[in-house]
Amino acid sequence: MLKTTGIDLFTYSVLGSTNDEAKRLAGQGTRGPLVIWTTRQVRGRGRARKNWIGMPGNLMASLLLHPGRVLAEAGSMALVAGLAVTDYARTLGVDARIKWPNDVLVGDAKLAGVLVEASSGNDELNWMVIGIGLNLAVAPVLGRQTACIGYEVKLEVALDQVIESVLRRYRQWLCGGFLVLRDEWLERAAWLGRSVRIRNRLGAVEGIIRTVDANGALIVCDSAGVEHFLFSGEIVPLEVQCC
C-alpha cells in the first residue's frame, strides 16, 4: 500500500509492461484504484507502440482507475497526467514542461512519457490505465535528447509522490474536466508559438502551435491561416531554436 495515498500497490521485480499488467488485472475484474510498479520493465512502450527504455533507477508505474466517464473524455487524461508529473519535477527544482500530448520535457530533452489506455462499453469507460515512465536517475541513450531528474531520490518515495500528484489532478479532472486545468497546462506548455509538423493517421499538418482547447485538442495554424484541431499525432519541430 502506498504510504501517502493509501491505495493498493502491486510490486514486481520484472514485468513486460506495467500497463499490460494493469489491463490484465482490470480484465479479470480487479477494481482500482491500484498501482502497478516494477523496477525492471522489458517491453515498455509509449504512444504509437514506440518502445520505452526502462533503465534501472528510473520510475515505471501504472495507475488503474474507474472514472465512470465517457470514452471521449479519456484523451485529455494524458495531458492531465503530464501536468501532474511536472508538479512533482518542480518540487525538486526541475523546470519541466509539457509537450502535447504526452511528453514531459526539460528544454527539448524528454524527461517522462505518459501512456493512457482505456476500455469502454456503451461509450462509457469501464476502466482507465495511466502509465508513467519518468527518468529519475538515468537519461536513456536514444535517437533523441533525453534528460533525468539527477537527484538521489528513493524510488519508493518518488512513486508515492508522483501517484499522489496524479490522483490530485485526476480528482480535479473528475470535477470539471480538462477545462479547469487548461490555464495551468498552458502555463507549462512546451513549444507554444513554434513551427511544427504533426503526423497522425490522417496525414500531416504544418503550422504554428497556438494553444489547446477545452477538450485538450491541439490548435495549429497553417501558412494559409487555417486552424487545425488535432486530437492525436507526433510532433517534430520545423526549425532549430538556438536560444
160 assigned to some structural domain: yes
Is the previous residue joined to 101 through a cis bond, with omega within 30 degrees of 0?
Answer: yes
Owning domain of residue 210: 195-237
Task: Determine contact, residues 188/86, Cβ cutoff 8 Å.
Answer: yes
pLDDT tens for each residue of 109-148: 999 999 999 998 888 899 999 999 999 999 987 778 999 9
Structure confidence at residue 177 (pLDDT)? 94
Terminal alpha carbon distance of the chain: 45
In contact, 149 and 49? CB cutoff 8 Å: no
Nearest alpha-carbon partner for 46 in 162, 132, 156, 149: 132
Residues 27 and 64 in one domain: yes
Per the domain annotation, does 203 fall within a domain? yes
Note whether residue 17 is domain-resident.
yes
Q: What confidence score (pLDDT) does residue 6 get?
A: 79
- The single residue listed with the C-alpha cell 495554424 is 221
Whether residue 109 is found in the same domain as residue 125: yes
User: Per the domain annotation, does 145 fall within a domain?
Assistant: yes
pLDDT band at 243 (very low <50, low <70, confident <90, very high): very low
Total domain count for the chain?
Answer: 2
Residue 242 has pLDDT above 70, yes or no: no
Same domain, 134 and 221: no
Q: Report yes or no on 79 lying in a domain.
A: yes
Task: State the average pLDDT over residues 40-53.
Answer: 64
Co-location of 69 and 179 in the same domain: yes
In a domain, 242, yes or no: no
138 occurs within a structural domain: yes
Q: Are residues 66 and 129 in the same domain?
A: yes
Question: Per DSSP, which regions of the chain are E strands?
Answer: 8-12, 34-38, 59-65, 97-99, 103-106, 109-121, 124-134, 195-200, 203-212, 218-221, 227-230, 234-237
Query: 230 and 183, same structural domain?
Result: no
**CATH code for position 217:** 2.30.30.100
Could you tell me the strand order of the sheet in which 109-121 lies?
Answer: 8-12, 34-38, 59-65, 124-134, 109-121, 103-106, 97-99
126 and 231 co-located in one domain: no
Cell of 209: 502551435
- 49 within a domain of the structure (yes/no): yes
* Residue with the three cell numbers 491541439: 218
CATH code for position 28: 3.30.930.10
List the one residue out of 56, 54, 78, 88 whose CA is nearest residue 163.
88
